[in-house]
Structure 1
């Protein structure tokens, strides 16, 4: 069973965007790897910007510098 875990930073994708992501990722695994769509599991997690760091700074701080 393929398990795909997608982590995105806030703001959270809309319900419709999540549906589209799940459908397209599933379709890609079906087409590319020949997987049964019923066996594909996609999980989307939203992380707060202060919980993600890059180059020693939180994503929240990096965004505020722009």
Structure 2
């Protein structure tokens, strides 16, 4: 019984994108490991950008800097 936990930053992931992630992950586990879709669990967790850090700073700070550079 596979359990897949996908974490993404909370930046507007649409219901359609989530559906595609769940469907694609389930299909991949079936193709690669022959795991039945009916017993495959996929959980998508959206994490606020203030709670996700990379390179010593929050994703919020990174996104703000990216916006300033691209303006």
User: Normalized against structure 2, the TM-score is what?
Assistant: 0.87
Decide which structure has greater helix share.
2
Asked if 2 retains the 8 angstrom alpha-carbon contact of 1:4 and 1:41, the reply is yes
Q: Which has the larger radius of gyration?
A: 2
Give distance in 2, aligned partners of 1:42 and 1:57: 29
What is the CA distance between 1:52 and its match in structure 2? 0.5
Aligned residue in 2 for 1:26: 26
The residue aligned with 2:65 is 65
**Which residue does 2:49 correspond to in 1?**
49
Q: CA RMSD in A?
A: 0.8
The runs of 4+ residues in structure 1 deviating greater than 6 Å are none
d(CA) in 2 for partners of 1:62 and 1:37? 37
Report the counterpart of residue 16 of structure 1 in structure 2: 16
Structure 1 length as normaliser, TM-score? 0.93
Aligned length in residues: 66
